[in-house]
Amino acid sequence: MININSKIFIAGHNGMLGSAILRVLKKKGYKKLITINKKKLDLRDQIGVKKFFKKKKPHAVIIAAAKVGGIKANIKYPANFLSDNLEIQTNLISSSHLYKVKKLILFGSSCIYPKNLKKPIKESQIMTGKLEETNESYAIAKIAGIKMIESFNKQYKTDYICLMPCNLFGPNDNYNLENSHFLPAIIKKIHLASEKKGKKIVKLWGTGKPLREILYVDELADACEFFLKKKIKKPLVNIGSPVEMTIKDYAKYIRSKIDPNVILKFDNNKKLDGVKRKKLNTSLANLYGWRSKMNFSKALDYIIEDFKRSHK
C-alpha cells in the first residue's frame, strides 16, 4: 500500500497539474517525491526513461506529463499531440511494469469521450461514438493510454488507473493566447483590456454558447492522493465538479471580478466552439468516497490575483 514513505515519481512536475500534485503531496507529508526536469530526461526517450526507472526504482508513478493545449493548438499540431502523448505514456507505463511499480495513475481529459453523448458522461461511454474533430489526436492518444492500462491490469494484475478530469484551472496555468485553454485565455484578455484607456473591448473565439465544467487543479491533486492509496476495480474514474456554465457566462463572471466596464465580443466562429457540452458523471468517484469541495468564486479570486502578480 502506498503511504507517505513511498517513493513516488511525479512525471511533469513543472506543469500546472504536476506542480499542484507536488504541492499537495508535500503538504500531506509525503517525504520521498521524485522529480526530474524535462531538459535532463525527455520522456519520449524510451532508453532514457528505462535507465531513470532502473536507478530510482519508484513505488508509484503519477503521469501528469503530456502535450496539452487549447483548441487552435490541437487543430494546428495534430501529429505532435498524437505522437508525443503516445510516446510519453507508453514509455512510462512500460517502464513501470518492467521495474514493478506498485501503483500508477495516468491523467486524461474529458475530450476522450464521443462528442454526441447524453450528459453527464459516464465512464462506460468511452469509445461509443465519434470524437470531436478539433481534438481527435489528443483524445486518441489518451484512449490508447487507458486501453494500455486496462490491458496491463488484465494480463499482469497491475494496479494502474486513469483519472479523467474536466477542464482545469489553477496556479502555473498556461496563458499563451495561441494555445491556452479557455479560462486562462479569458482571464488574460480581460485583464489586458482593463488596462487600456478608452474603449475596453475583448475579442473572444467562438459563439460563447458551449457549456464547460471547471475544476480547481488542487482538487484534482487531492483526488490523485486519494486514489493513490485506494485499491479500485475500475481502471477509469471521472473527476469533476458541480460548476458548469457557458463560456459566455464564465467570461461575464470573470469580467465582473476584473473590470465590469470591459465589453465582450465573440467572433461567432462555430468551428472554434468544440463540443457543445462535456459534463462528467462523477457518481463512481463519489461511490469510492471522493467528491469536489471547490469554492469556485474563492478559487477564481485567487487565480486572478496570482495572474496579476506573475504577469506584471
Contact 95, 53 (CB under 8 A): yes
Catalytic, out of 30, 113, 138, 216: 138
Contact 235, 190 (CB under 8 A): no
Instruction: Show the 3-state SS of the chain.
Output: CCCCCCEEEEECCCCHHHHHHHHHHHHCCCCEEECCCCCCCCCCCHHHHHHHHHHHCCCEEEECCCCCCCHHHHHHCHHHHHHHHHHHHHHHHHHHHHCCCCEEEEECCHHHCCCCCCCCECHHHCCCCCCCHHHHHHHHHHHHHHHHHHHHHHHHCCCEEEEEECEEECCCCCCCCCCCCHHHHHHHHHHHHHCCCCCCEEEECCCCCCEEEEEEHHHHHHHHHHHHCCCCCCCEEEECCCCEEEHHHHHHHHHHHHCCCCEEEECCCHHHCCCCECCECCHHHHHHCCCCCCCHHHHHHHHHHHHHHHCC
Cα-based distances in Å from 270 to 86, 183, 203: 29, 18, 15
Active site residue 138: yes
Contact 286, 120 (CB under 8 A): no
- Catalytic residue IDs: 138
